[in-house]
């Protein structure tokens, strides 16, 4: 799926082009399609209507803005990766899971 920048989204929200985006971002949409009508309409919306709306939205974005954003998206793919930061995040998550496990163990063994 192509990259769509916030600038392009803001440009589309004020026009008819933003109807698809507004429909999908609207919280009532999920309530209507999932609870009130039935689950089948929610699936149909997610499988048929939404991809067609996104394709229409991409076609309606001006080509110069889309080309500019695609260049920026390609350039952002070549950024450096910090393995140290990744290791810190993984260590914090492992520590949090271990702490929760230890607390659950203490809760059930002290009784």
Tokens of 43: 């699936």
Per-residue burial over 21-55, b = 16 or more CB atoms within 10 Å of its CB, e = otherwise = beebeeeeeeeebeeeeeeeebeebeeeeeeebbe
Tell me if 60 sits within 8 A of 18, measured CB to CB.
no
Low-confidence ranges of the chain (pLDDT < 50): 1-2
Q: Share the mean pLDDT of the chain.
A: 75
- pLDDT of res. 6: 60
- pLDDT of res. 50: 76
Tell me if 12 sits within 8 A of 21, measured CB to CB.
yes
């Amino acid at each position: 799926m192509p990259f769509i920048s916030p600038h392009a989204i803001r440009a589309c929200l004020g026009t008819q082009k933003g109807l698809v985006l507004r429909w999908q971002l609207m919280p009532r949409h999920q309530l209507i399609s999932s609870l009130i009508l039935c689950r089948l309409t929610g699936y149909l919306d997610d499988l048929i209507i939404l991809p067609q709306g996104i394709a229409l939205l991409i076609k309606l974005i001006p080509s110069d803005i889309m080309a500019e954003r695609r260049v920026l998206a390609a350039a952002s793919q070549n950024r450096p990766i910090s393995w140290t930061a990744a290791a810190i995040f993984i260590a914090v998550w492992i520590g949090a899971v271990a702490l929760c496990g230890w607390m659950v163990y203490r809760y059930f063994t002290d009784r």
